[in-house]
Each structure stands twice: as C-alpha cells, then as structure tokens.
Amino acid sequence: MKFAVIQFPGSNCDQDCIAAINSIAGLHAEYVWHKETSLRDFDAIVLPGGFAFGDYLRCGAIARFSPIMQAVVSDARAGKLVLGTCNGFQILCEAGLLPGALVRNRSLRFVCEMVTTRVEVANSPFMHGCSEGTLLRLPIAHGEGCFFADPETLRELNRDRQVILRYSDRQGRIVPEANPNGSIENIAGICNHERNVFGLMPHPDRASDARLGSADGAKIFRSIMETINANRAEAGSSLAEQVA
Amino acid sequence: MKAKVIVTPKKTVLDPQGNAVRDAMRHLGMPEVRNVRIGKYLEIDLDGKDVDLEKRLDGLCRDLLSNPVIEEYSIERLSE
C-alpha cells in the first residue's frame, strides 16, 4: 500500500513521516513534490509538518495554492484518506477541506513538548481499534496551533462527532491545564463531515518508535492501512455478490 | 493604481498579541488604552486601474490575503 508524503518548500517533517510510515509492515511511503499534479498512484495522502512557504501571510495560506493541492482536494472529495499533521493540518484548514482555523497560541509561545490526547470517537478511520477514551502520548511543536471555530461550526463538529482528539491530562480529563495552546474545547484533531480527512496538531510521525518516547503515533498510520483494507474487502464482497 | 489592504482579526477571535501590547501600553503609563487589535497592512502596486482589476483584487483578498474564518479585510485605493 502506497502513501504519498507531500513536500512543500519549508516542509520539515516529511522525512519523519516517510520513516514512520515505512517502519510499518505493508506500508510504503514516497515523497511527492508540491508542483506535481496527480496522486492517482497513491492509496493515502499525508501532509507533513513544517513551515510551508515560511508560514508567510498565514500558516498554510500559500501552500494551499500549490499545484498538488488540486489533486489533494479532488482525491479527498472522491473519498481517499488524507492526513494532515501540524502544518499539514493548517494547510487542510486553509484549503477548506477541514472547518475552522489555527491561530497563534494563546500563550504567544512556541510549545514543544509531549502531551496526552484523548480519543473522542471510537473506531474512526484514523483510530481503528481505539475505543473512546484511549489516551495517546504524542509530541507537539508549534506556535500557531490554537484551534478556532465559530460557535455554529463548533456545534456541528460536536454534533457530528468530528472531534477525534482532545488534549487531556494523564487521567484522560479534558481540563484547561492540559490545553497547551488555548484551543477551543481542548481540540487537538478533527475530521471532515465525510470522515476521510483528518488533521491534528500533534506529530504521530515523531511518536512511531518506543525508543523515541512513544509509539502511539504509529496507531494512526496503521489505522489508515486497516481502513483501506476493510473498505477494499467490503467493495470486493459487494462486487462478488453482484457477480453471483 | 496603488491599493492598501488592511487585514484584522475578527472581533470574536482572541488576539493574544493585541492583548499583550495593550497590557504593555497600560504599564507604560497609558491606562486609557481599552483594547488593541493587531492586523496586517499590505501596500500593493498594480498596473491598470479598471473595475475588473479591483474586483479581482477583492477576490484575492478573500481567498489569499485573508482567511474569512478568522479575519476581516478592507481595501483602500491610494491616489498616486
């Protein structure tokens, strides 16, 4: 199964993503330069962290107009799984594939630390096998990761269970003290309405090896693979039914 | 033509930078400062000056120069 890792000028977690994905049996990741125009050969798309185009104007504001983004948007609309981590999350929001926006951390500080996040929705395509309340230890490193959405959007996100991850304390409580950046309602990661596009500020790519402090991030990459396999098995069996 | 574009955070969006500057101004002997909002100022030189150009500039203000989720913008034409 082939994953695309998009490289924008200024991406700096592309290598981490490639290493994390390639460490999982059955997965193979390849770089795709932002000037490319097709992602036809790939089963899933990853937008890595970094500072695409220097974060000039706003994080992700210029990257969303890169040629490859047309392919990302059309493949996402066709149902392909798309993951955006950190800067990748910001780009997905700017591109309109995810609601809301990411603004300057409330503390005005760049935060670089290990945090605990709580899985809010069981068995989403990106959290296969994770029950609600599962705690994931993941690192964050960002200056503009404060999630913002207007009240109506926030209501929809909660109603349609699109909030996948929230910052929590080690006991899994969603408390203000566990919020590293001032995100509204401790939101760390959300998916779109169709549930095939997922963005999160933490770095699963930097938490895919226990020797680096946590391997919880690998669960997300593995989950994408399992979801694709499950969808294919389902498509295969319905095809078999039609033929029979 | 020359245009001046000002992008500001929406009132509903927290502006921690503005708050920090507000507090600094108060500390420096100006307790009258009630609020500070920090935005962006862009000065743009353009060739031409027809209505269509202004319309396209407005479109790019919406799509690129500002993010309507968190920001508002205004365009002012500068006389040359």
What are the tens digits of pLDDT across the range B49-68?
Answer: 888 999 999 999 999 999 99
Q: Where are the beta strands (DSSP E) in A123-201?
A: 135-142, 146-148, 163-168, 187-191, 197-200
pLDDT at B7 (0 to 100) = 97
pLDDT at A238 (0 to 100) = 82
pLDDT at B80 (0 to 100) = 63
Q: Give me the residue spans of the domains in chain A.
A: 2-101+147-160+189-243
Minimum Cα–Cα distance from A102: chain B residue: B70
Range A211-216 average pLDDT? 93
Distance from CA of A58 to the nearest CA of B (A): 8
Lowest mean pLDDT among A108-112, A236-240, B7-11: A236-240
What are the tens digits of pLDDT across the range A85-121?
Answer: 999 999 999 999 999 999 999 999 999 999 999 999 9
Residue A235: band (very low, low, confident or very high) from pLDDT cuts 50, 70, 90: confident
Chain B residues whose CB is inside 8 A of the A93 CB are: 69
Task: Report the C-alpha gap between B76 and B64 in whole angstroms.
Answer: 17
Place of tokens 């991030």: A217
Tell which CATH classification among 3.40.630.30, 3.40.190.10, 3.90.1150.10, 3.40.50.880 matches the domain A2-101+147-160+189-243: 3.40.50.880
* Helix ranges restricted to H, A83-205: 87-94, 151-159
Tell me whether A182 touches chain B (CB under 8 Å).
yes
Contact assignment for B67 to A94 by CB distance below 8 Å: yes
Interface test with A, best of B44, B67, B73 (most A CBs within 10 A): B67
Residue A30: band (very low, low, confident or very high) from pLDDT cuts 50, 70, 90: very high
Distance from CA of A151 to the nearest CA of B (A): 10
| A166 token code pair | 């929230």
Number of domains, chain B: 1
Q: Which of B9, B14, B67 sits opposite A61 (nearest CB)?
A: B67
Instruction: Note down the domain range covering B73.
Output: 2-78
Tell me whether B67 touches chain A (CB under 8 Å).
yes
| Rg, chain A, Cα only | 17
CATH number at residue B7: 3.30.1280.10
Question: Residues near B26 by Cβ (< 8 Å), separated by ≥ 6?
Answer: B33
DSSP state of B62: I
Per-residue CA distances from B25 to A107, A200, B9, B35 (Å): 18, 36, 20, 10
Residue A55 near residue A27, CB atoms below 8 Å:
no
